[in-house]
Structure 1
Amino acid sequence: MTVTPPPAPAPFAAHDYADRMRRATADASEAGLDGLLVTPGPDLVWLTGYQPTAITERMTLLVLTQDRDPTLLVPTLERPDVERAVGAPSLLVEDWADGEDPFVRASELIRADATMGIADSAWAMHLLGLQDAVPGSSYRSLTQCLPMLRAVKDASELARLAAAGAAADATYEQILGVRFAGRRETDVAADLARLLREHGHEQVDFTVVGSGPNGANPHHEAGERTIEVGDAVVLDFGGLMYGYGSDTSRTVCVGEPSALVREVHDVVRLAQQAGVDAVRPGVACQEVDRAARTVITDAGYGERFIHRTGHGIGTTTHEPPYMIEGEEQPLVPGMCFSVEPGVYLAGQFGVRIEDIVTVTETGAKRLNNTDRELRVVD
């Protein structure tokens, strides 16, 4: 299969960030909040296009409320960087100098009795400082109060996710031609990282290579184990391309697979298909998990499926929504998440198959399209 990545999407413009800040402010109001406080991290990048070159103890704080223009409070030495950010025209930028109390400055932007959503990335020292400086104020984490803030992607975001997925697919196609037997897991992981970069990733976040018994650990990091003939090998890799994530998993076998490896792989493949088939607008996230898990449970491996079926993806590789029992959030067109069931036999091997999908008006569209059959490698 030859994979041709889509062309580079157009850069985000100032109006894109202005629209996001308006939507976020409106969503906060609907959630019963008086506003949002956003510190350096993925939410700040998504809302403003600004990412500090270094995240330090100096407070940077975006304040979004209905009664004032979006305001970004930054250390004086960082103001020039902020003013070069794409979203800067939509921001009122205020700065505080070393020696000033940033919490006093922030208190001028927050009503005394306000209930504010605050980014999960906020430092505890900053949250405690705000509580002292604004008596009567209260705070709720954004994951708790606005978990779907970044969940529904627009066309430009979907184009970036599609490009990242195609690059991950191209990486997988090429890794199949790499020798596995007799090499260390770290050697194959280095090949994956190199290929991801060659296909356009600016950042590689993870390259899981779990061979033989190491594959039974879902988050095994590539180690010094030498891959052997007969090993099932879990490959799980991804990172950021154009600022948006890729994440895909396939399980291959070095040489002829055993009957048990074939059996488990078939079960996981059918479970993954069932999870994808369950995706459609209005369906609760937990139904995707249930669909995949039922297949594995019916095959007798239910206790060996030890993680949720999926996670959202966007500017980070793990974010809401989550495909897990108890998550009743309905699926909405534009949501993007993984469908990645697995079976893990301790001391023997593991199998995981993962694609990123996006919710459409009628169902699911895969952003990973490589072969999901068990592939044999050298």
Structure 2
Amino acid sequence: MAEERFSASVYVARLARAAELARDAGLDAVIVTPGPDLQYLTGSRASTFERLTALVVPADGDPYVVVPRMELAALRASAVGEAGIEVRDWVDGDDPYALALRGLGVLRRLAVAEAAPALHTVPLASTADARLELATPVLRRQRMVKDAAELDALREAGAAIDRVHARMAQWLRPGRTERQVAADIAAAIVEEGHAVADFVIVGSGPNGADPHHEVSDRVIGEGETVVVDIGGPTALGYNSDSTRTYATGEVGAGIREAYDALQRAQQAAVDAVRPGASAQSVDAAARAVLADAGFADRFIHRTGHGIGLSVHEEPYIVAGNGIELQPGMAFSIEPGVYFPGEWGARIEDIVIVTDDGVERLNVRPHELAVLS
């Protein structure tokens, strides 16, 4: 059965845009090996092996795919055939690098996607007698601004992960271990419409003060905060990522004070999202609220990251990133406060930049949810 993907016309348009951007950048061609960029441009979810599979997008000319003959069946699950992309297959003993470069002429600037392994980039550079450069500036520019089909896929993913958070009281309670709770959450992520559970963080008590804690055998206690950060791809490959902080009973006034400041900070960052605003200004909006409340040193990571076929991609919502936000960009807003050895909290939504502001994809309540 073919994997779920967009129509061939979507990929034809993306390939045409990639060639246009390559020309604008002065590149002769872009070579894309398996990974998120290949999936974006063709719908193919091929894996990288010792045999070369690559999409070649000339700045002038038609794109084509080089693929081992033994991998042709897997390629048929993509839009390559429907989109009319030329396929150059090869067998062991052939030179796939010469095949990939055939017809490109004298190369001055050849770019490769960042997922390309050295196993293939070194032979490509040698065969081309050219220095390879990263295609990241070209592909980043294209993937950062989502098209309508991608935005719908992200909305679907956001709604699915919200349904999981809505069920949290079924599993999260004192006496259970983080690992037990995480297993139930992972199953629900798939039940609610994801292909897989890509990550499940359950950080109870002091473990919540570690932003990248995953799970442990710690038993969840009464009156603790628990950070639950979960997500994964849906069938189309577009990811969800949402964090809520829960409490297993009433918590003290100090926790309430810090959490209320965190909630205001998250809202301030969301309110700062609009076309033309800089990524760093959104980060600054969250930090200003926490600084005014006396918690500046408790926020120890960036405010957000782009999301799409990768859970973390550009744009990054961080100090020093002056990139202007554009309609169609999608990213997380996830400030946190962390008290090492004691507790932590984070609130995370995925948002989309619209023509006149912002759209939130996660709408579960942001208050500290006390589960009884």
The C-alpha deviation readout for 1:218-273, integer Å capped at 9, x for no partner, is 01011111111121110000001132110000111111011121111111111100
- 1:113–1:138 Cα contact (<8 Å) kept: no
Distance 2:103 2:296 in 1: 52
2:220 to 210, 227, 232: 227
**Are 1:29 and 2:23 an aligned pair?**
yes
Distance 1:185 1:17 in 2: 42
- 2:21–2:138 Cα contact (<8 Å) kept: no
Distance 2:260 2:7 in 1: 45
- 2:202–2:227 Cα contact (<8 Å) kept: yes
- 2:18–2:138 Cα contact (<8 Å) kept: no
**Are 1:239 and 2:236 an aligned pair?**
no
What is residue 78 of structure 1 aligned with on the other side?
Answer: 71
1:250 to 239, 244, 247: 244
Report the CA distance shift for 1:125/1:112 in structure 2 as closer, same or farther (over 3 A). farther
1:212 to 205, 210, 214: 205
Distance 1:224 1:84 in 2: 40
Gaps of 5+ in 2: none
1:363 to 340, 345, 357: 357
Q: Which letter maps to 2:361?
A: L
1:46 to 16, 19, 40: 40
Distance 2:79 2:125 in 1: 31
Report the TM-score when normalising by structure 2: 0.95
Q: Which letter maps to 1:352?
A: R
What is residue 324 of structure 2 aligned with on the other side?
Answer: 330
Distance 2:309 2:332 in 1: 14
User: Cα RMSD (Å) of the superposition?
Assistant: 1.5
Task: Give the drift of 1:373.
Answer: 0.4
1:282 to 259, 276, 281: 276
What is residue 65 of structure 1 aligned with on the other side?
Answer: 58
- 2:195–2:233 Cα contact (<8 Å) kept: yes
Task: Give the drift of 1:118.
Answer: 1.3
Aligned pairs for 1:1-378 within 5 A: 12-52=6-46, 54-88=47-81, 89-135=83-129, 137-241=130-234, 242-378=236-372
Report the CA distance shift for 1:349/1:84 in structure 2 as closer, same or farther (over 3 A). closer
Higher alpha-carbon deviation: 137-146 or 347-356: 137-146
Report the TM-score when normalising by structure 1: 0.93
Gaps of 5+ in 1: 1-9
- 1:37–1:63 Cα contact (<8 Å) kept: yes
Distance 2:36 2:132 in 1: 19
Distance 2:211 2:103 in 1: 45
Distance 1:329 1:129 in 2: 35
2:167 match: secondary structure: helix
Query: What is the percent sequence identity of the aligned residues?
Result: 46
Task: Give the drift of 1:41.
Answer: 0.4
Q: Which letter maps to 2:177?
A: R
Q: Which letter maps to 2:357?
A: G
- 1:185–1:222 Cα contact (<8 Å) kept: yes
- 1:181–1:228 Cα contact (<8 Å) kept: yes
Distance 1:84 1:32 in 2: 32
Distance 1:272 1:141 in 2: 34
2:366 match: secondary structure: coil
Distance 2:208 2:45 in 1: 36
Distance 2:350 2:104 in 1: 39
1:209 match: secondary structure: strand
Task: Give the drift of 1:365.
Answer: 0.5
Q: Which letter maps to 2:309?
A: T
The C-alpha deviation readout for 1:72-108, integer Å capped at 9, x for no partner, is 0111111233244223233110012112222222232
What is residue 7 of structure 1 aligned with on the other side?
Answer: none
Count of residue pairs brought into register by the alignment:
367
1:207 match: secondary structure: strand
